[in-house]
């Protein structure tokens, strides 16, 4: 099943279109999901991601992977959402992982010591190998 969300602040003009976060969620199985995030994760756009992550947790997710290949900017509010979700997932015996992390985004994550590069999935094939190994 695939869910789509498109968030843009009120009164978006053509000049502000880069301030959009598009989300699409793919369920891999009953408890594993990939959230594809494209755009910017800022104080304006983070509520859409937060809401989707909370929905998945409420539905019993044990593994949430956020594909950030299309993420072009990560603000501190986005880092907060990732950290809170990671803590929630681990407290419930689950995990939050990232996939296809652009170098600029990984640099930010390295600065705050969150999601080390060696814990991220390189691509969909890497994630599928992880799932086939029965680790999720």
Domains for the chain: give ranges and CATH numbers.
2-115 (3.30.750.24)
With 0-12 CB in 10 A as exposed, 13-18 as middle and 19+ as buried, what is 36? buried
- Is the model's pLDDT at 42 over the cut of 80? yes
pLDDT at 134: 81
Segment 92-121 mean pLDDT: 96
- Is the model's pLDDT at 18 over the cut of 90? no
| DSSP 8-class letter at 118 | G
- Is the model's pLDDT at 8 over the cut of 50? no
The fraction of the chain above a pLDDT of 90, given in percent, is 81
Strands (E), 8-118: 21-27, 32-41, 63-74, 95-99
């Amino acid at each position: 099943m695939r869910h789509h969300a498109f968030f843009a602040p009120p009164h978006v003009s053509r000049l502000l279109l880069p301030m959009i976060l598009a989300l699409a969620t793919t369920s891999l199985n009953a408890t594993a999901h990939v959230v594809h995030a494209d755009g910017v994760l800022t104080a304006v756009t983070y509520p859409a991601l937060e809401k989707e992550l909370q929905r998945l947790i409420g539905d019993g997710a044990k593994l949430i992977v956020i594909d950030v290949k299309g993420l072009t900017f990560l603000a501190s509010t986005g880092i907060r959402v990732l950290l809170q979700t990671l803590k929630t997932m681990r407290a419930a015996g689950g995990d939050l992982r990232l996939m296809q992390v652009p170098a600029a985004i990984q640099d930010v994550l390295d600065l705050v010591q969150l999601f080390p590069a060696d814990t991220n999935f390189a691509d969909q094939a890497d994630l599928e190998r992880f799932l086939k190994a029965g680790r999720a």
